[in-house]
Amino acid sequence: MTRLRATALAATLASTAFAMPASALEEITFQLDWLPGGDKAPIYVCIEQGICEEAGFDVTVSPGRGSSEAITKLATGVAEFGSAGMGAVMAARAMENVPVTAIMSIFNTGPHAFYTTKDTGIASIADVKGHSIATSPFTSSNVFLPLVLADNGMTEDDITLTKADPGALGPLLMTGQSDVIIAWLTDVTRYSNQASEAGKEIVYLPWADAGLELYSASLVGNDDYMAANPELTKAFVAAFKASLEFAYENPQIAAEAVAAQVPELTAEDVMGSWMDASKLAFNEVTDEFGLGAFDADRVAATWDRVAASQGLDAADLDPETAVSRDYLPE
């Protein structure tokens, strides 16, 4: 998709019944679940390509420090829309019935993975038994680790788990201070580059390949705002979906959009991350159910995994109440 096509798309959005004139833009805050980066490219594309504005929105992006914080800000009305892990949304609704609902899938596949280097000889998830593993204290991957280990006949007693600053994970792996790290598939390019500089070859082992199939990052909204503004919500979801598609078709422009909004990042920093992340949104699940869609069986399977990983009673939540399909365009 070229910029001209994006402009035409934006014009189409503006011509819909729910779009607003430029003189009456709806000011909203979009709450990220983490810091700006390549995996957040769609919202920056929406702003930089004028897609959000043409749909009637003046968007401010707020950085986050995890899904739990993002959900709290959305629930309290600090932000109208944002991104958060589906597992965190489900857990928050089960435990506190927070007024936040997932309205579109961004990543229909979990991003969780083990990373190691080829010289360790670790070639499968079962091979991590007996090895040292480093992880970030705040990653949601930690919640699912016991399930992945159990699926492969292990417990945490079979590994040596340490927690480290996210920025230290790569150096720990490349210097051999840790045999394995836990990181997301959005960072394949970054860790591959670090391994190459160290004269090593990266090996990554997606947990999805071991059966951890679930929805992850989702577009979420404040329930009160969406109930009061259903047409605006439809307009925003349409704009976000169009931006996601544009970013997939134009990764270089998407990287430049992030860099334009986040001065501390360069397009080169962002490009690889977005290329890695986009595979979590565009894949065989997308081919089967459609971009952004929530399949009922997969939603239920996600809740089963989330409940098991956090020691929650699966009966405490109807997982369908955590999602809404009312706002996603055909």
N residues, the chain:
330
57-62, strands of its sheet edge to edge: 57-62, 26-31, 81-85, 217-222, 100-105
Query: How many C-beta atoms lie closer than 10 Å to residue 231's C-beta?
Result: 14
Distance of alpha carbon 101 from alpha carbon 286, whole angstroms: 21
Residue 318 CB neighbour total at 10 angstroms: 11
Q: What is the pLDDT of residue 93?
A: 97
**Residue 138 has what pLDDT?**
78
All structural domains of the chain, each given as residue ranges with its CATH number in brackets, are 26-109+214-321 (3.40.190.10), 112-210 (3.40.190.10)
Q: Indicate the residue type of 196.
A: S
Nearest partner of 43 among 222, 235, 254, judged by Cα:
254
Three-state DSSP class for residue 236: helix
CA distance 169 to 133: 10
**pLDDT number for residue 168:** 94
- CA 142 remoteness from chain centre: 16
Q: What is the pTM of this model?
A: 0.86
Give the pair of three-digit tokens for residue 174.
């490349």
Please report the pLDDT score of residue 58 as a whole number. Answer: 98
Q: Token pair of 205, please?
A: 């082992």
pLDDT 10s digits, 185-213: 999 999 999 999 999 999 999 998 888 88
pLDDT tens digits along 257-309: 999 999 999 999 899 999 999 999 999 999 999 999 999 999 999 999 999 98
| pLDDT on residue 277 | 95
* pLDDT tens sequence for the chain (330 residues): 444 444 445 444 544 444 455 558 999 999 999 889 999 999 999 999 999 999 999 999 999 988 889 999 999 999 999 999 999 999 999 999 999 999 999 999 999 999 999 999 999 999 999 999 999 987 888 989 999 999 999 999 999 999 999 889 999 999 999 999 999 999 999 999 999 999 999 999 999 888 888 999 999 999 999 999 999 999 999 999 999 999 999 999 999 999 999 999 999 989 999 999 999 999 999 999 999 999 999 999 999 999 998 899 999 999 999 999 999 997
Q: What one-character-per-residue DSSP string does 270-308 give? A: HHHHHHHHHTTTSSHHHHHH-TT---HHHHHHHHHHHHH
| Predicted pLDDT at 96 | 94
